[in-house]
A and B are shown apart, each in its own frame.
Chain A
């Protein structure tokens, strides 16, 4: 940091530190196990559940992606046919494009709005902060299906609240979800307007740890509110921003509930997302092998994106 950080105690927050730890040997692993056996015993249940419900389905999906599933009789090994079909399917690329547009808009808008909300809340009293923390977090607790149904009524072209406001303001009604030109935008709007409660809570927690002396120094140097926010707050909450960008991107790339409840991927294919395509392929077209190949390709895309985000956005933070 360029504002005299050498005056302060260095506290590294880095993902790179783990690389510098010594590689464990069989002997050390055995010793560690003996020393911490009760911890491992207690962890074993969680690990078992993780293996059974997370790892096994992924491994099974990978195997299924090379097969054609049959209810009766042996499954047929088809090699790379499913992948070949997926990559040559125009609907797959269209779904990917829709999902990418959704992600490119909702992730920065969501993370950005969370940062701004947290900045506005941070100076307030604990009581006020608690109230708003709960208020912003509540939508996240509600079922996605319920929220989708509520928003579907908000967007209703005849009875919806949004069109009621537009008409009241003398503006023409919009078709929102009924038009291919506005359907995806409507879903993006829904994603943006639903307050990112969890992100706000994380930011508030991070901001609490920023020493006040930084802001006092900035005050002495004559920095205004925006400069303090841009040059102190934003850089120092970067780890939280990185975490939120990665997790929000993973969530956005798997968007499904809104499409399922509100538009069924239409009108046309305007709101067809990748996961909706996987759902239709598997549960409507009964082609579980093809659906698995689509899911594995999405999995690879998410891994690559996460690696890129870590590589370019992670950095050491010094307080």
Chain B
């Protein structure tokens, strides 16, 4: 009896100490994030300091990546096994398939899930799990030079919505010869179909084309709907002549320069950063005027935001969700502490702080409860972007080898847009190459 009592006490001691250990992690959590502006860096310092004060013994080691080399740094870290704990944009399906990322679905209550934009959760959903913690949204829309629209007496699309025919009609009116030399020098649209850029894919998919079947074993873009969508893009250049010459071969930087600086295109499509870039341009111009600098020839840019033109179906803008992947942890207590930190840093209150106190132009929170429209009430373009979020499609598709697949398809589309191959051949070749990848993945 005495022995039994001693053993029971010892067992309880072990269990209790294990519980304490499990719930009381102390150590370093390594966090990698991309730059979002100086104000955001200060915000991170404050958030980290506050969390560390609330959790003595826990240290958050912050590393700022660069946009140029960040992807490679993450990939090398994964390949070498020298992984951080939390990485922004670190939710590649390949990492999930190899068991490198933690499934965080167990940390979301039903109530918490309902508080996120559906697209922001779908962005990290793979099979039965959720492999990322949503933080911000990065939607893509059409950006319009409202000044040019006004100059040519063209109405902006009502509520930001237009059909393809309406879009072409307006682009045609916005394609004209400004300097009277007999050649057009202002064009309606410049579209980006470069590899790794999906800015114009909503038009490609606007007639109802699908990329994959449900279990991602079959590539479906080579279909009448896919061909129709591709022709919609090609026709802008070859049939209606409303696209900037050789737009399909130009870089995003060149197109943006033509849109913002040269004002030689009336519309383009890009990510939310465009709103921030235009706001920044106008602020700089305002500052130069106040400083008495020569600003002759420089006019403020009048921006409007719209949805992509609809085809047989309502166009769905694409939205990339910025969020945190958590690499596999050996220690349950550490994982719990990491999630606790993520909940703290991405809470509704902190997302409001980012909007109101930092210089992150174009931050769109993933929390529905954050009244972003209140904070952007003086920016009709941000309001317009937020209002179009309901129809957004999560991007990129959560499928292994998406980088490779997207690259293959993009290049075929680019060649078709440049007239190097027919759209039918482009989709056939894309189908053959993508199916090869899918078959290899499913081997």
Contact = CB atoms under 8 A, between A and B. Distances in A.
B254 A283 contact: no
Contacts of B145: none
Contacts, number: 84
A288 B79 contact: yes
B257 A179 contact: no
Q: Per DSSP, are chain A's interface residues mostly helix, strand or loop, or mixed? A: loop
A2 B249 CA distance: 56
Contacts of B76: 283
Interface in B63-99: 71-72, 75-76, 78-79, 81, 92, 94-95, 98-99
Contacts of B250: 157, 178
A159 B257 contact: yes
Given A71-B79, A158-B258, A285 B401 contact: yes
Interface in B358-408: 401, 403-404, 407
A266 B92 contact: no
A180 B98 contact: no
Nearest to B95: A71
B428 to A, nearest CB: 13
B75 A267 contact: no
A157 B79 contact: no
B351 interface: no
A72 interface: yes
A179 B98 contact: no
Given A70-B98, A71-B100, A280 B420 contact: no
B415 interface: yes
A268 B401 contact: no
Contact of B194 (A70, A266, A269): A266
B414 A267 contact: yes
A264 interface: yes
Give the interface residue-count category, chain A: 20 to 34
B246 A266 contact: no
Contact of B248 (A177, A267, A269, A288): A267
B75 A283 contact: yes
A91 B195 CA distance: 15
B112 interface: no
A266 B414 contact: yes
Which of A69, A177, A267 has most chain B Cβ within 10 Å?
A: A267
A282 to B, nearest CB: 8
B127 interface: no
Interface string A160-193: 0000000000000001011110010000000000
A24 interface: no
A156 B249 contact: no
A180 B249 contact: yes
Contact of A286 (B92, B99, B249, B407): B92
B128 interface: no
Contacts of A239: none
Given A156-B254, A158-B257, A71 B78 contact: yes
Interface string B242-263: 0000101111001001100010
Contacts of B418: 179-180, 267-268
Contact of B195 (A90, A156, A265): A265
A38 interface: no
Given A180-B418, A266-B195, A267-B194, 17 more contacts: A71-B78, A71-B79, A71-B81, A71-B95, A71-B100, A91-B433, A156-B254, A159-B257, A180-B249, A267-B248, A268-B420, A269-B411, A280-B404, A283-B71, A284-B403, A285-B401, A285-B404
Interface of A: 69-73, 85, 90-91, 156-159, 175, 177-180, 183, 264-269, 280, 283-286, 288
14 contacts: A71-B78, A71-B98, A85-B440, A157-B254, A178-B254, A180-B249, A180-B415, A180-B420, A264-B196, A266-B194, A266-B411, A267-B415, A285-B404, A286-B79
The 3 A-B residue pairs with the shortest CB-CB distance, nearest first, are A178-B249, A268-B415, A267-B249
